[in-house]
Copies of this chain bind each other. A is one copy, B any other.
Amino acid sequence: MRLSTKGRYGVTAMMDLAIHDNAGPVTLADISQCQGISLSYLEQLFSKLRKHKLVDGVRGPGGGYRLARPADEISIAEIISAVDEKVDVTRCNHEGNCQDGVRCLTHELWEELSDRLFNFLSGITLAQFANRPGIHELAIQRDNINGRFILARRQQEVLQQQRRVS
C-alpha cells in the first residue's frame, strides 16, 4: 500500500467523473483546468485507469472519459492501486536470504497493517462522495457559473441549432 500525490490526483479526477457521471463524458482538458494538473500527465494517469477497467474513453467530438462501472462499485483502494502501481516486494522473499527472524517478524506485522489499510480503503466508494445530498446540484451550479463543462457544451449545442434554423 502506497499513497502519494499521484494517488491523490487519480482519486480526485475520478471523483470529478463520478459527480458528472450522468451528464456525458468529461474531457481531460476540463479536468486539467479544474484541478491544475497538466493534460499530458492526466493522459498517463488515465491510461492506467483505462487498463485497469476503471474508466472508458470515448473518442471524437463530445467525447471524453466516463466511469466504466457505477460509482458505488469503484473503491478508493482500486483507484490508488491502479495509479500508484504497487511496487516494493519485501526484501525478505521467504527464501534463505532472510537470515534474521526479527526482520521477518516486523515484516509480518507491517503486512498486517498494510492489509488493514487496504481493507479500509476498499470499503470507501466513489459513490459515498459523489452521491451526497447537495453535491451534485452544487457541482452543476458551479459549472454553470464558470460557463464550462457539460452545461456549457449543451448551451453551445442549442446555439448551433438556432443558427441552423435561422
Contact = CB atoms under 8 A, between A and B. Distances in A.
Interface of A: 1-5, 8, 11-12, 15-16, 19, 33-36, 76, 88, 91, 99-103, 105-107, 109-110, 112-113, 116-117, 120-121, 124, 129, 135, 138-139, 141-143, 145-146, 148-149
A114 B113 CA distance: 17
A16 B76 contact: no
Given A34-B102, A103-B36, A142-B101, A109 B2 contact: no
Contact of A107 (B12, B100, B141): B12
A110 B121 CA distance: 13
Contacts of A120: 117, 120
A15 B76 contact: no
